Amino acid sequence: MRTRLVVPMVSFLWGCTDSADEKEEVEDTGSSASSYDQCVTPSESDHLYPPYPEVPDECVEDFWECPFDVGFATLNPHTVCNITEGLDSDGQIQVQFWEAYNYSRDYFGAYGPVYVYFMGPASVESNLDIWHLRAERRAVAGACYPVERQVDDFFDNPHGSEELDAANSGEGGYFSISGSSGCNPLMDLMMINPQLDEVRTITMHEYNHIFQVSHILTHDRDSDYGLNSWIMEGQATYSAARFGDETGWGPSFVGQMMGMKEYGGNTSPEGIDAFLAANSDFDLSDESYWSREDFSAAVVYYQLGAWAWAYLVHAVGGDVDLVLKDFIQDVPTLGREASFQMNLGRTTDEFFLEFSEFVQGTDEEWRAILE
């Protein structure tokens, strides 16, 4: 069975260049690995280093604490895509990816820089070239911690090693967005071992995350200027299901949503009904479900999260743009709580009470808010 992992900002590993001038220098090299809006295979000649830069006299000690500026992701809204040599030889996965990516970018807007990595077992050597280039792009040249050590540490990161191993073996599917710090506002979109029938909906899910990450000022999900997991995963799951149905790229929206309730759908092996039977006092805003050994995180953040946003869309008269876009866009200037109340007409605490009553309803009452 394929493992499906869709996690935003999984690892804040190591950043990239520390100045706009340096970014432009990298972009203007003419390297095929930096071509926009097409997937190309990098080689060793595309690596940014060596020689590695010396640590500057005035270096950044804790570059993970660099603040984000409002609108940071609009300054360089480019997308660069790299792919393992020999992977998707007929190009069909890439065709479907760009269809869904451009659809999502048209809806949510263009943000970046985004680096997309399609990886699979076609070439271990090519995967290493991609991984090395990814590490270099994320390294902060102005940090007190030397760039060469940042690159080495990237290979030693346990989560990253798991992704690279999966790409080399072809076992498991890993799909995620990884952000970084304000010193390095890039986003990595990992597409490891994708299958043709899932690329479009996964891409729509992940681009929703790109939009979300572009409007946070911190990776602290409990902060008023960050986003809770139920917001991030719930919105992305809801939007991919809804837009997948509207475009004809995915199954029925109502069928997917009811599937998540009854048996888990394609999100987890556990349905919402079974979860609620044992966890009637669930808390959407509790981030500790990630640490549980069971499927609680998937059920709460993805499945119940998707239904929470379906409920809110229904509550505001079906205004999908207000719920998915306006609320998020106002977070960096107003804060999450104020934006929620202004755009959605209730505080989060008031909503949690409403939703806790809603989930006690019948299947017919659940289904009614989808129509």
pLDDT tens digits, residue range 215-239?
999 999 999 999 999 999 999 999 9
For residue 185, what pLDDT is reported?
Answer: 86
Residue spans of the domains in the chain: they are 4-213, 229-368
Quote the pTM value: 0.90
Amino acid identity, residue 52? Answer: Y
Sequence-distant (6+) residues with CB within 8 A of 194 are 93, 97, 118, 120, 173, 175, 202
The pLDDT of residue 359 is above 50: yes
For residue 16, what pLDDT is reported?
Answer: 34
Q: Compute the average pLDDT of residues 5-10.
A: 35
The pLDDT of residue 89 is above 50: yes
Length of the chain: 371
Cα–Cα distances (Å) from 58 to 61, 65, 148, 183, in that order, read: 9, 16, 18, 15
Which of 173, 177, 171 is closest to 195 using CA atoms? Answer: 173
For residue 169, what pLDDT is reported?
Answer: 97
The pLDDT of residue 11 is above 50: no
The pLDDT of residue 2 is above 60: no
Q: Compute the average pLDDT of residues 72-87.
A: 96
Q: CA 185: distance to chain centroid?
A: 14
For residue 34, what pLDDT is reported?
Answer: 73
Least confident interval from 112-116, 173-177, 345-349: 173-177
For residue 38, what pLDDT is reported?
Answer: 87
Q: What is the mean pLDDT of the chain?
A: 90
Sequence-distant (6+) residues with CB within 8 A of 203 are 96, 97, 100, 101, 104, 191
